[in-house]
């Protein structure tokens, strides 16, 4: 079958000002994204808007959102979240924006957008409501093809089986149990302002970073740290659901996505380091608007001291990566044998070159420790990056 593309935008936070410099550009990030998606509107069928379109739910914020998206060519399907319906909440979401839950078919997939937010004992929480449960069970029973379920707050459990964040103390397990017997290609979420992917009770969950371009870190006095703004592209070819995190305003993009079964996270500068103890397949994505990526290379680099700071990387080797798939973006692989290097801290890098040029323009780096044992501890530098990521080391490693 022909490839079918769609996009996801999440955590736009239109109208949020004054918290830090990153928020001053929230509206321009949305405008730029709409322009770019419109340039690919002949291939992108629709956009999933998975919550926190605005900041406080005020009419003024929604007016800005509607103005910025007035010329959007692909249809949009919205999920309401706490920032959309909380705070001032000066509009009726369903009347002004659209249904809080719906399903539609496109490209042989049935898509569900869920209304999982309600006001609980301690404020907003995620919860599978009875009417949503009945509706979802009925729709899934009548459909025998692949499905995608989109909502705002991701489902993730600690090693002892407790849900975290908005689903804490919830009936989230009921949602997983309903989905498990069916052909669910993925659950697609936002809320955390992070790129990550994991398997949740047999169902793939893809979480997407914020178009806002900022991560809440709850650290006084700044509270937020800047990240690269972007949105997500998906491609369904009838057999596999592929995805790309697209960084806006990036003319040539290359990013390491998987090191073996380890998702590298993001958006940059957020990254999830790992330990390499044996041969591993590294997968990267590359993208250039209206241009073809001809070559992607994988590098192994080592830090060295410069002017008293360990902030420089000397690349020891570059290896050509093999292109495994080509569509709106390209996907590349290379199997690396880390035993060829001494035990120490390194950086795994990628760089990409457009067709018709002789320069590599894009580069990404993931810190790793090469060790003879997979249980070797990460170095101080990697543990600091985990702190930026915002979760304890042990929780991140067990999320996969």
Residue 399 is predicted with a pLDDT of: 33
User: Tens of pLDDT along the chain (400 residues)?
Assistant: 689 999 999 999 998 665 555 567 788 999 999 999 999 999 999 999 999 999 888 888 899 999 999 999 999 999 998 888 876 667 788 888 999 899 999 999 999 999 898 877 777 889 999 999 999 999 999 999 999 999 999 999 988 889 999 999 999 999 999 999 999 999 999 999 999 999 999 999 999 999 999 887 766 666 778 899 999 999 999 999 999 999 999 999 999 999 999 999 999 999 999 999 999 999 999 999 988 999 999 999 987 666 655 567 889 999 999 999 999 999 999 999 999 999 998 999 999 999 999 999 888 999 999 998 766 555 544 444 443 333 333 333 333 3
* Torsion sign across C-alpha atoms 267, 213, 231, 51: positive
Residue 23 is predicted with a pLDDT of: 63
CA pair distance 345, 303, nearest whole angstrom: 8
Find out whether 318 and 295 touch, Cβ atoms under 8 Å.
no
Residue 189 is predicted with a pLDDT of: 98
Burial category of 25 from C-beta neighbours within 10 Å (exposed 0-12, middle 13-18, buried 19 and up) = middle
Strands (DSSP E) contained in 97-252 are 102-106, 109-113, 117-120, 123-126, 147-150, 184-189, 196-200, 203-207, 214-216, 224-226, 230-236, 241-247
The token duo for 366 is 């993931």
Domains of the chain in start order, with CATH, are 4-249 (3.60.21.10), 274-397 (2.60.40.650)
Residue 56 is predicted with a pLDDT of: 82
* Torsion sign across C-alpha atoms 154, 158, 161, 164: negative
CA pair distance 43, 148, nearest whole angstrom: 19
Residue 311 is predicted with a pLDDT of: 60
Residue 16 is predicted with a pLDDT of: 66
Residue 68 is predicted with a pLDDT of: 95
Question: In this structure, are strands 230-236 and 214-216 parallel, antiparallel, or unpaired?
Answer: unpaired
CA pair distance 189, 103, nearest whole angstrom: 16
Question: In this structure, are strands 4-9 and 44-49 parallel, antiparallel, or unpaired?
Answer: parallel
Residue 375 is predicted with a pLDDT of: 63
User: CA 47 from chain center: how many Å?
Assistant: 15
């Amino acid at each position: 079958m022909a490839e079918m593309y769609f996009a996801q935008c999440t955590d736009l936070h239109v109208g949020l000002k004054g918290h830090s410099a990153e928020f001053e550009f929230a509206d321009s990030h949305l405008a730029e994204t709409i322009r770019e998606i419109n340039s690919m509107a002949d291939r992108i069928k629709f956009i999933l808007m998975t919550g926190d379109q605005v900041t406080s739910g005020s009419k003024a914020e929604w007016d800005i959102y509607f103005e910025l998206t007035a010329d959007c060519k692909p249809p949009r399907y919205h999920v309401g979240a706490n920032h959309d319906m909380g705070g001032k909440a000066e509009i009726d979401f369903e009347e002004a924006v659209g249904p809080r839950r719906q399903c539609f078919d496109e490209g042989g997939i049935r898509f569900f957008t869920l209304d999982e937010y309600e006001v609980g004992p301690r404020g907003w929480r995620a919860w599978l409501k009875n009417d949503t449960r009945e509706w979802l069970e009925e729709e899934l029973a009548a459909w025998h093809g692949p499905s995608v379920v989109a909502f705002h707050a991701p489902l993730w459990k600690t090693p002892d089986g407790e849900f975290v964040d908005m689903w804490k103390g919830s009936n989230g397990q009921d949602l997983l149990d309903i989905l498990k017997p069916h052909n669910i290609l993925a659950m697609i979420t936002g809320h955390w302002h992070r790129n990550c992917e994991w398997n949740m009770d047999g169902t793939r969950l893809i979480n997407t970073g914020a178009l806002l371009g900022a991560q809440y870190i709850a650290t006084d006095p700044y509270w937020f740290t800047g990240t690269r703004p972007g949105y997500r592209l998906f491609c369904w070819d009838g057999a596999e659901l592929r995805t790309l995190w697209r960084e806006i305003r990036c003319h040539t993009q290359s990013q390491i996505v998987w090191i073996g079964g380890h998702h590298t996270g993001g958006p940059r500068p957020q990254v999830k380091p790992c330990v390499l103890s044996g041969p591993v397949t590294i997968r990267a994505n590359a993208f250039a608007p209206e241009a073809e990526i001809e070559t992607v290379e994988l590098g192994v680099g080592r830090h060295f001291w410069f002017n008293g700071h360990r902030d420089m990387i000397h690349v020891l080797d570059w290896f050509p990566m093999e292109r495994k798939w080509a569509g709106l973006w390209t996907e590349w692989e290379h199997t690396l044998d880390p035993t060829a290097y001494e035990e120490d801290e390194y950086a795994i890098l990628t760089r990409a070159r457009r067709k018709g040029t002789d320069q590599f323009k894009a580069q990404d780096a993931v810190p790793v420790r090469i060790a003879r044992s997979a249980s070797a501890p990460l170095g101080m530098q990697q543990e600091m990056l985990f702190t930026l990521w915002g979760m304890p080391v042990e929780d991140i490693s067990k999320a996969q």
